[in-house]
């Protein structure tokens, strides 16, 4: 089946899109690198800020997956973030205070969307599609981020409502419940393969935003569509 044919099916059958926020809507790597650079300089660290953020994000992801798999109660995203940043500071040999850790994690709510995002969202909204967020972030973090993103999503859903981090199936099930549409008419959009795999295995349609031009990987849960950015997504979903 061609990309055009797959796009036509999605336009015909999808009624709403659900987006990951961190790294898909907002530029997490670039935004956090910009935020941590002066802090790391002030600490006299001679490493690369970009690498520091990569360590931070990988450690956060690992800790959130451990939290979900242990199934001993959901730990807030912010707390996972504090643990991750503290670990990376220790790894880098940087002295720090708990206030500095909290300040760094707090920069997440100020992240800006990728340049192609808002215009594409407006095109899809004008086409009558529902537009929602499903994020691993805490509810208050999603609300605080809203002015920095600057787009009126129909809802912002935190996985806290499900009690576990994505890609646990319960997170997508809770989004389906709160959006109020059957999973077959929902299109989940993410820049992360694991998130697309989780949504697809639950029964949602998926689109992989391939900003980094990397292979999706071997899995039976392939995305319905792979696009380079939100502009290409809007074109596929509106036909123009």
pLDDT at residue number 38 = 97
Where residue 1 falls among pLDDT bands split at 50, 70, 90?
confident
pLDDT at residue number 88 = 97
User: How large a percentage of the chain has pLDDT more than 70?
Assistant: 100
pLDDT for 149 beyond 90 = yes
Domain spans in the chain, listed from the N-terminal domain onward: 3-27+112-238, 28-110
Q: Classify domain 28-110 at the CATH class level.
A: mainly alpha
pLDDT digits (tens, 9 = 90+) for 202-230: 999 999 999 989 899 999 999 999 999 99
pLDDT digits (tens, 9 = 90+) for 108-145: 999 999 999 999 999 999 999 999 999 999 999 999 99
pLDDT for 167 beyond 90 = yes
Residue 69 CA neighbour count, 13 Å, CB half: 6
pLDDT for 155 beyond 80 = yes
- Name the average pLDDT for the chain: 96
pLDDT for 191 beyond 80 = yes
pLDDT at residue number 118 = 98
Where residue 2 falls among pLDDT bands split at 50, 70, 90?
confident
pLDDT at residue number 138 = 98
Backbone angles phi, psi at 166, to 5 degrees: -60, 145
Where residue 188 falls among pLDDT bands split at 50, 70, 90?
very high
Contacts of 140-149 spanning 24+ positions with Cβ under 8 A? 141/77, 141/78, 141/108, 141/109, 142/21, 144/109, 145/21, 145/26, 145/108, 145/109, 145/110, 145/111, 148/26, 148/109, 148/110, 148/111, 148/112, 149/25, 149/26, 149/112, 149/113
Could you tell me if 190 and 199 are in contact, meaning their C-beta atoms sit under 8 angstroms apart?
Answer: yes
pLDDT digits (tens, 9 = 90+) for 39-86: 999 999 999 999 999 999 999 999 999 999 998 999 999 999 999 999
Could you tell me if 29 and 57 are in contact, meaning their C-beta atoms sit under 8 angstroms apart?
Answer: yes
Where residue 90 falls among pLDDT bands split at 50, 70, 90?
very high
Where residue 240 falls among pLDDT bands split at 50, 70, 90?
confident
Q: What is the dotted CATH code of the domain comprising 3-27+112-238?
A: 3.40.50.1000
């Amino acid at each position: 089946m061609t990309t055009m044919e797959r796009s036509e099916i999605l336009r015909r059958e999808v009624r709403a899109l659900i987006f990951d926020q961190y790294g898909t809507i907002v530029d997490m790597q670039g935004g956090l690198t910009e935020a941590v650079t002066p802090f790391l300089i002030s600490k006299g660290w001679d490493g690369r800020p970009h690498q520091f953020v990569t360590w931070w994000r990988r450690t956060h992801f690992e800790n959130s997956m451990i939290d979900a798999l242990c199934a001993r109660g959901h730990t807030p995203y912010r707390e996972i973030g504090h643990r991750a940043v503290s670990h990376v500071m220790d790894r880098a040999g940087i002295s720090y205070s708990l206030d500095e850790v909290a300040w760094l994690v707090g920069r997440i709510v100020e992240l800006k969307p990728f340049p192609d995002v808002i215009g594409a969202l407006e095109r899809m909204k004008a086409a009558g599609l529902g537009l929602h967020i499903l994020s691993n972030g805490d509810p208050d973090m999603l609300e605080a981020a809203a002015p920095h993103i600057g787009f009126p999503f129909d809802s912002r859903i935190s996985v806290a409502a499900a009690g576990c981090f994505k890609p646990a199936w319960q997170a997508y099930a809770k989004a389906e419940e709160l959006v109020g549409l059957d999973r077959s008419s929902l299109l989940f959009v993410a820049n992360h393969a694991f998130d697309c795999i989780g949504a697809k295995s639950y029964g949602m349609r998926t689109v992989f935003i391939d900003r980094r031009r990397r292979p999706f990987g071997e899995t039976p849960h392939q995305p319905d569509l792979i696009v380079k950015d939100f502009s290409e997504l809007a074109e596929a979903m509106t036909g123009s």
